[in-house]
Amino acid sequence: MGMRIGVFGGGQLGAYLCQAAATLDIETYVVCFTPTSMAIEYADHHLIAEPEDAQAAEWLVANCDVITFDTESVPPGALQILEEANAGVRVAPSVDTLRMIQDKYTQKHWLATHGFPTAPFVDCDTEVTVTSLRELLGSPFIQKARRGGYDGKGVQLVDSAASDESLWRGDAIAERYVANKRELAVLVARTAAGEAAVYPVVEMLFEETGHVLREASSPADLDAEAAERAQRLGKRIIEKMDGVGLFAIEFFLEMDGTLLVNEISPRVHNTGHLTIEAHETSQYEQHLRAIAGMTLGSVVQRSPAAVMLNVLNEAAAETDSCPAAGSWTSGPDTVFHWYGKPGGARFRKMGHITSVANSRDEALHLAETALSDWRKREHVA
């Protein structure tokens, strides 16, 4: 094989990176955190280790030409080992980039310092009160854990009934609650040489209770000016941070047209699953091309519309009857992807469905029909 690429993290994102690598003559080494990690089935080599285990990062350094991630939650010790790796090993995105993005306050401060629009925010030190935060941000406002939050975890809405006892202090930020907005994402790939490619804007709809992504559609139903503005802003952000790899930039679009940066993910992203079926180059292949120094692929969308639905665990219960990881077609324009995970927590992502069609409504109908049919079969079983 050709280049050796290591992936820190072996969930579904790591698994899809391995699948894409197989088409590019890239050998994969993946650190998996559980014996049931999906990437074990697709990696050329894997190591099962705790994220904090120094052996995990050292194994990647010893075997790989380039190291990347399927999660931004990389422990400080692992980042230190990667930072001290010899010059023969590249890390993409860089350790500095990952450290900055891991901390939501540092990330927001970086965005604001460089003139990128965000909702007003403040660090929640031990002295903050509900009253002081309301004076700065209005009511209600949002609190987020500085590190580790995802899929609705580490986020709380602080409303008019909240007391000081409900606040997170010392390791959280607070920001203005953006009401009446649309949520968008832009995927940007960039090489070390500065070549960049920007995918069409994706619109996101979230499951209200768990605030987990429920639906992503591409292209978002925006006028050309708004779509171009989001793509241009996403590209400028990644250029400013000298990012290498694929990044997802999430935005709020307010009703008056104001575009605010919500957060940046330094990796392939849930909103980009639909690129596997819907675009000339999937986000996974694109990320590998970017970090390996290859020419980037086309981001042209093959169909007028595409919709992805996440398949979420509906109850907090283990599931012993899950089929193994894999994918299957559900009609000529729909693909069902299953991750092979045990059930576990409610709203855990168990799989996703992508449908392509001539309109967003048609694609959504195809995906929802496939999901409904699957749920009926599971219930009968």
Q: Could you tell me where the beta strands, DSSP code E, fall in 124-258?
A: 141-145, 155-158, 172-176, 181-190, 196-198, 202-207, 212-218, 245-254
pLDDT of res. 266: 96
pLDDT of res. 380: 44
Q: Which helix (H) or strand (E) holds 228?
A: helix 224-240
Q: Can you spell out the DSSP letters for 14-61? A: HHHHHHHHHTTT-EEEEEESSTT-GGGGT-SEEEE--TT-HHHHHHHH
pLDDT of residue 320 exceeding 60:
no
CB atoms within 10 A of CB 168: 17
**Residue 381 — pLDDT band, cuts 50, 70, 90?**
very low
- 163-167, 195-199, 281-285, range with the lowest pLDDT: 163-167
Boundaries of every domain in the chain: 4-91, 120-176, 181-380
CA angle 103-60-154, nearest 5°? Answer: 25
Say which residue the tokens 């579904």 belong to: 12
Q: Which two tokens stand for residue 49?
A: 């280790």
**Residue 341 — pLDDT band, cuts 50, 70, 90?**
confident
Q: Are 285 and 307 in contact (CB under 8 A)?
A: no
- 55-64, 159-168, 177-186, 301-310, range with the lowest pLDDT: 159-168
pLDDT of residue 157 exceeding 80:
yes
pLDDT of res. 315: 61
pLDDT of residue 377 exceeding 90:
no
Query: What SS3 class is residue 240?
Result: helix
pLDDT of res. 159: 87
| pLDDT tens digits for range 244-279 | 999 999 999 999 999 999 999 999 999 999 999 999
pLDDT of res. 238: 98
pLDDT of res. 316: 53
CATH topology (fold) of 120-176: Dna Ligase; domain 1 (3.30.1490)
Mean local confidence (pLDDT), 98-103: 96
- pTM of the full structure: 0.94
Mean pLDDT: which of 247-256, 305-314, 371-380 is highest? 247-256
Say which residue the tokens 């995906």 belong to: 367
- Dihedral angle at the C-alpha atoms of 312, 318, 323, 326, nearest 10 degrees? 50
Mean local confidence (pLDDT), 113-126: 94
pLDDT of residue 65 exceeding 90:
yes
Q: What percent of the chain has pLDDT over 90?
A: 77
pLDDT of residue 140 exceeding 70:
yes
Q: Which CATH number fits domain 4-91: 3.40.720.10, 3.10.20.740, 3.40.50.740, 3.40.50.20?
A: 3.40.50.20
Give every CB contact of residue 268 below 8 A, 6+ residues apart in sequence: 13, 16, 17, 70, 246, 248, 283, 284, 287
Say which residue the tokens 């690598």 belong to: 21
Give every CB contact of residue 376 below 8 A, 6+ residues apart in sequence: none
**Residue 318 — pLDDT band, cuts 50, 70, 90?**
low
pLDDT of res. 151: 62
**For the stretch 15-46, what's the b/e string if a residue is b when 16 or more beta carbons lie within 10 angstroms of its beta carbon?**
bbbbbbbeeeebbbbbbbbeeebbbbebbeeb
Taking the C-alpha atoms of residue 94 and residue 76, their distance in angstroms, rounded to an integer, is 14
Mean local confidence (pLDDT), 333-353: 87
CB atoms within 10 A of CB 166: 12
Q: What is the mean pLDDT of the chain?
A: 92
Q: Are 85 and 91 in contact (CB under 8 A)?
A: yes
Domain spanning 181-380, CATH architecture: 2-Layer Sandwich (3.30)
